[in-house]
Structure 1
């Protein structure tokens, strides 16, 4: 039998009010457990759990080094191979076989390692009702959330409003216990309808909704007619109809479209396809168990009621909402429905997964924690703090970001130069201090094209994570909907960027961070024709006294190379002459977006010209990027001296002068680089190997 533990959850439907229990199911076989139900009992691990790499506190990767020696590497749990459809089937069978009775919450044992102060996450399942849909995400979610999953037994006939009441009671109970912390609700399909219904009735509760392919579009699907069909089908033939339902949901053979996106090796692609084929029959059998004819008819009735109930109350949902929508959902028009909901819900963002099917949470390639982080939706208190709530990127996330810049890195082969304390310029990053706090102050290239190579190389070579001070446009919900891809800025949030503000800079320096700041801002990144490498900095210091307060080291740097990549066909001055451009300009700078993100409105001159605008570019044959990090300027011990505005201004001008010297040095030296052209670099690597470091000029 399953072990129970107190958890502050609400009473089970149909049970006495004093039974306030939360079931905890291990991920190994439930049938092997012989303990009797006992309140406050702590379940002991079974042999199966001890063998599981997910339940081990220190998973090990065993490999061989180049010299043949065996190497044991301790892995982070989030970097162990994720669970798959087989684990979903196994765990689902254990739960439906061991958890009879009424609706209840359960917590997987492998999710019991969350840190102190982690918010509560309630998972509301789709039409299957089992509650194991997060199985692929347990390892990572369990570190940052206290996870409760809702289980609705196969033969349960709880009505939709009773389910709402049950979840709402849990939310109220936990709100009192977790004062100051948000409650996350992840709802899938019909579970998303339940989440929206609870949010509409709990407007004074700090909720964050994560909705996966919400079933609010029920009236526009073939599901509303299938109930009549099922009523006409005799009992012995209900399994094939359920099987058809499963096949259309795309639970397992959603692999071929992912091969190109993930660029899998042939062996891995064959392995994935083989796994999908092997899991097909068990999946169909499982669906026959969890959705027999009577249950499926009942669930479709609930689904119809849920859609109607929620659509009439969407105006009452004001909490933060993130919608994950599949582009190839064969059951629901999820892509279109997400766009509709986004226009109705005032605090909503959408992430589209164009190649995914209905069972999005079970598909390869999706990391729910990464999606939540990228959207800026993770917080531990009532207010988002992008510094204290920040979660450092995992190897998986860093590799994904690096992959996005792989073409740029290949085409430009960045040259990194740094300056030692004695003023000697060397190739590499040895001149950069290993410990913070530090501020990197430099020039923006066209469209900020240097950002990717800069951040990636520093993290690879020096293990330094640059926390960028970014334009608020990249964090604004209204700005997001203007982009071709709503997730365009997610990678910057994952890598630690924060909106520009004195408070954010203060918090970052207080925890010894490495901060990246561009005083020229958008004016430099979106410069006009003929303005390459010009600095558009304010006349007065903006960062020196802040740096001195924490004894931060200032590292001036310059980067050149964007004029080797693009020709500007139309700049801001050209666009203003076009008759249709006024409307776009107003959306970017005068509408809800511009009102929220306008910067330096109290300045004069070009530095105050921070309008956001597109640029029409024509690519050129790629040249090469060159970075030079100047001699570090230490402010430690100078706090009293730099409190004086005149002294701070002198250091500010010194930093600006150092950046200009770096630019002049690089523009002169790159003319002597025999491998500035991409063709010469390709020839060099063709003759000496693709991994060989390409030479450059002598520093």
Structure 2
């Protein structure tokens, strides 16, 4: 697109911040600013094809190998660009931004953030001690798909006080909230910027703000940074000669970065090149760093940090905003993990994520921290007053899905899942060809012990058919009490990225209405935490919970059975055993009360949802087997299945088919010569470890 560049700053020309002239076929929308700040950037308001499909079920299966390849390559190009960004881009773009112009703090919108989803919320980035505003440069492109991004730039020579910066951000927040009152405003702040975000939130509890805070400087009074002020005041002359030594405190020491890269496990052919690039980048950028934080500016910022920390600490009680704290375990400037835990306990609507290997500048840490992925995993992305698990869901990129699947590679290798499915004519085939490619589809099956079947099931369907299955999951995977003992929700971030939603009739309704592929286990926790001798026994409710919902949208119901848990472990201590011991009975009651109660209005064993961990005796691993039966059609049966007897009849047919699939697998696996892991390993040793291990004849 042809564009004429106009400088953001008087007398300077920048490729990063410019006004764009309209060209045919593209609609331009000016960024709005409060009257106290200049308008100097525009954003392209056009949704790319990949983004348009973000909330459509059609995006779950890209039709045609050509389309799939194009979409895959597009994401790979973006991911490759991200891998090339980071500190290098920060320094290159900072050279333009830090040129003195005498201007006040102001907002800019990075042009490389591109086009975004419809009704995307506003994201205001509040920088740390550097003030440049490029702290999320590594994330501009991905964030730009789902946000309208504005970044705050504080010129090097500017001496605006912390309280005046708070007023500046507050004016912007109020103005944009008045313009779009039904959309949240995201405040993403690191260090000093996190203090700004908290201060604005404390002063505006009635505005829908979402705070994303990286290593908040609210811990300044407990950090070693306090010692830097007298050191700088005693330091004669300009800072440049001693800058490398001071920078070693920030994790920016070139030698440290070189050593970090050595332990990353980089491919041998890339190691030397990337180490030299890191070293060269840091070494050549020392003058830029000295220009960003000259002695006088650094002293001013340190004093501002002290004032900001005290200001915010006195107002934390007033913060009501939804908050996500990201804290690093290797922050050399601030005690970030301790501070993150403190804020997590103090703030009422707060989640915490820890990055043990992260440094102070978390958003510039290449390869380990992806802000968009974090928002997906924590379910913190929304475009309205409440998070909607359907309309606010963003498909995982191929890179995200690959990383998640690879993180479970050991489980997938050990289970070596066998997948069978049934074609429309009733033929049973190896593979997943029998699963309908067009939604809505409801996959209904048996929940194995501890839900062990989930990872191989979802990952194989995704990799082999390009279908993302949306799992209906227990609410404990999404939230817990702050002082509770249930697993931390961060343990399930990957499940949320891959589309899991809390069990609720409204969520099933929305997923089916959007033509999704939905995974449902009617037996729920009762099946996943079954007792001794209850392997492969279904615990389904008496009511036909899902049939009429499926019929409403003409969804295909695909029953399936899974077998193999008894080849991996045996329950030796179950709920009945634990309940006889007072201590464990008390623990179970505590955990169950901590969890959201499901099916409290139903009767029978399925209502027995006690949260506990059974004692399991491990075995030499066998193999997992999945069998998808012939789909039940509900298209055109909406009126018929409104009748309770008719829906009950179909419900029992589905249940019977699941039991038949389980019985079939239990029988056929006896003739599988590779049921044992030892025989599979021997086969792969002779045929290659990437080869598919055979199974029984159908």
Give the TM-score normalised by the residue count of structure 2: 0.89
SS for the counterpart of 1:121 is strand
Who is 1:498 aligned against? 501
SS for the counterpart of 2:639 is helix
Distance 2:441 2:602 in 1: 27
Structure 1 residue 488 corresponds to structure 2 residue 487: no
- Note the 1:104-503 alignment, pairs <5 A: 104-236=106-238, 238-251=239-252, 253-254=256-257, 256=259, 263-365=265-367, 366-478=369-481, 482=485, 486-503=489-506
Distance 1:115 1:375 in 2: 19
For residue 580 of structure 1, report the CA deviation from its aligned partner.
Answer: 3.4
Who is 1:79 aligned against? 79
- Note the 1:544-559 alignment, pairs <5 A: 544-559=547-562
Distance 2:479 2:38 in 1: 41
**Shift in CA distance, 507/72, structure 1 to aligned 2, threshold 3 Å:** closer
Native 8 Å contact 1:243 1:288 kept in 2: no
Distance 1:111 1:608 in 2: 49
Who is 1:10 aligned against? 34
For residue 582 of structure 1, report the CA deviation from its aligned partner.
Answer: 4.7
632-641 or 417-426, which deviates more: 417-426
For residue 432 of structure 1, report the CA deviation from its aligned partner.
Answer: 1.3
**Shift in CA distance, 167/73, structure 1 to aligned 2, threshold 3 Å:** closer
Native 8 Å contact 1:473 1:479 kept in 2: no
**Shift in CA distance, 352/168, structure 1 to aligned 2, threshold 3 Å:** same
Native 8 Å contact 2:442 2:519 kept in 1: yes
Native 8 Å contact 2:554 2:638 kept in 1: yes
For residue 289 of structure 1, report the CA deviation from its aligned partner.
Answer: 0.7
**Shift in CA distance, 88/679, structure 1 to aligned 2, threshold 3 Å:** same
Native 8 Å contact 2:98 2:155 kept in 1: yes
Who is 1:619 aligned against? 618
SS for the counterpart of 2:285 is helix
Distance 1:546 1:273 in 2: 57
Distance 1:574 1:126 in 2: 55
For residue 330 of structure 1, report the CA deviation from its aligned partner.
Answer: 0.7
For residue 116 of structure 1, report the CA deviation from its aligned partner.
Answer: 2.5
Distance 2:548 2:487 in 1: 39
Native 8 Å contact 2:125 2:189 kept in 1: yes
Measured against aligned partners, the alpha-carbon deviations of 1:70-111 in whole angstroms (never above 9, x if no partner) come to 999841364333112111100111111265421000111111
Native 8 Å contact 1:7 1:21 kept in 2: no
For residue 657 of structure 1, report the CA deviation from its aligned partner.
Answer: 0.2
**Shift in CA distance, 622/258, structure 1 to aligned 2, threshold 3 Å:** farther
For residue 613 of structure 1, report the CA deviation from its aligned partner.
Answer: 1.6
Who is 1:64 aligned against? none
Measured against aligned partners, the alpha-carbon deviations of 1:322-343 in whole angstroms (never above 9, x if no partner) come to 0011011111111111011000
**Shift in CA distance, 534/698, structure 1 to aligned 2, threshold 3 Å:** same
Distance 1:119 1:694 in 2: 48
Structure 1 residue 516 corresponds to structure 2 residue 519: yes
Native 8 Å contact 1:22 1:107 kept in 2: no
163-172 or 74-83, which deviates more: 74-83
SS for the counterpart of 2:462 is helix
SS for the counterpart of 2:144 is helix
- Note the 1:688-699 alignment, pairs <5 A: 688-699=687-698
Who is 1:88 aligned against? 90
For residue 609 of structure 1, report the CA deviation from its aligned partner.
Answer: 0.5
- Note the 1:612-691 alignment, pairs <5 A: 612-691=611-690
Distance 2:618 2:287 in 1: 55
Give the TM-score normalised by the residue count of structure 1: 0.89
**Shift in CA distance, 99/603, structure 1 to aligned 2, threshold 3 Å:** farther
Measured against aligned partners, the alpha-carbon deviations of 1:292-313 in whole angstroms (never above 9, x if no partner) come to 1111110000000000010111
Structure 1 residue 608 corresponds to structure 2 residue 610: no
Who is 1:32 aligned against? none
Native 8 Å contact 2:100 2:155 kept in 1: no
Distance 1:370 1:426 in 2: 36
**Shift in CA distance, 371/96, structure 1 to aligned 2, threshold 3 Å:** same
Measured against aligned partners, the alpha-carbon deviations of 1:224-260 in whole angstroms (never above 9, x if no partner) come to 2221221111123x23554334322224644755776
**Shift in CA distance, 211/174, structure 1 to aligned 2, threshold 3 Å:** same
For residue 480 of structure 1, report the CA deviation from its aligned partner.
Answer: 9.5
Q: Alignment length, in residue pairs?
A: 644
The one of 101, 104, 118 equivalent to 1:102 is: 104
For residue 629 of structure 1, report the CA deviation from its aligned partner.
Answer: 0.2
Distance 1:609 1:136 in 2: 48
Distance 2:524 2:657 in 1: 18
Distance 1:244 1:571 in 2: 59
SS for the counterpart of 1:639 is coil
SS for the counterpart of 2:491 is coil
SS for the counterpart of 1:539 is coil
Name the Cα RMSD after superposition: 2.1
Distance 1:474 1:71 in 2: 34
Measured against aligned partners, the alpha-carbon deviations of 1:456-515 in whole angstroms (never above 9, x if no partner) come to 111111111101111111111427963565510111110111111111111111111111
- Note the 1:46-65 alignment, pairs <5 A: none
Measured against aligned partners, the alpha-carbon deviations of 1:633-691 in whole angstroms (never above 9, x if no partner) come to 11111111111000000000000000000000001110100000111111111111222
Distance 2:284 2:421 in 1: 58
**Shift in CA distance, 474/306, structure 1 to aligned 2, threshold 3 Å:** same
Distance 1:310 1:578 in 2: 48
Distance 1:258 1:651 in 2: 58
**Shift in CA distance, 535/620, structure 1 to aligned 2, threshold 3 Å:** same
**Shift in CA distance, 666/73, structure 1 to aligned 2, threshold 3 Å:** closer
Distance 2:70 2:209 in 1: 46
Distance 2:477 2:260 in 1: 30
**Shift in CA distance, 680/343, structure 1 to aligned 2, threshold 3 Å:** same
Distance 1:480 1:454 in 2: 33
